[in-house]
Amino acid sequence: APQDKGLLTNLENGELCLNSVQCKSKCCHRRDGLSLARCAPKAAESQECSPYNLIGVYYKCTCESGLTCEVDRSIVGSITNSDFGICVDPNDNVL
């Protein structure tokens, strides 16, 4: 079984990653196309976010649980993984 401290899984924030599944936080984040990807905390409410994608590396992290990433999905954006949104609580506007 993968031991707790590894190069590949269960990575702490700040550790280099290739895919979000490796990170304890479940978000493998890179600031821009040139920078290396590192595990980072998920986006909190009203912070910038990326919608979930299959590539597994994000310019902005996906939202914390219970929040959704409000983004007007453009086809190009979803391919280049560069369309961002804001994390919102879907129940907020219900109240």
Partner 1 sequence: DEVCYDRLGCFTNDIPWGGTAERPIAKLPWDPEKVNTRFLLYTKENPNNFQEITAVDPSTIAASNFNASKKTCFITHGFVDQGEENWLSDMCRRMLQLENLNCICVDWKGGSQCAYTQAAHNIRVVGAEVAYFIDTLKNNYGYSPSSVHFIGHSLGAHAAAETGRRIRGIARITGLDPAEPYFQGTPIQVRLDMSDAVFVDVIHTDAAPIIPNLGFGMSQAVGHLDFYPNGGEYMPGCKKNVISQIVDIDGIWEGTRDFVACNHLRSYKYYSDSIISPDGFIGYHSPTYESFTSGTGFPCPSGGCPRMGHFANTFRGVTSVSQKFYLNTGDAKDFSRWRYKVSVTISGSHSVQGYFNIALYGNNGSTRQYQIFKGFISPGKTYTAYIDAETDAGTLDRVKFLWNNNILNPLLPKLGAQDVVIQYGGDGVTSNFCGSGTVREDVLQTLDLC
Residue tagged 């190009």 (tokens)? 76
Q: What angle do CA 17, 56, 7 make, to 5 degrees?
A: 20
Q: Does 3 bind partner 1 (CB under 8 A)?
A: no
Q: Does 2 bind partner 1 (CB under 8 A)?
A: no
Amino acid present at 34:
L
Among 9, 15, 26, 71, binds partner 1 (CB under 8 A): 15
Q: Does 18 bind partner 1 (CB under 8 A)?
A: no
Q: How far apart are CA 48 and CA 42, in angstroms?
A: 10
Residue tagged 């910038």 (tokens)? 48
Q: Does 13 bind partner 1 (CB under 8 A)?
A: yes
Q: Which residues bind partner 1 (CB under 8 A)?
A: 5-7, 11-16, 36, 38, 41-42, 44-46, 64-67, 89, 91-92, 95
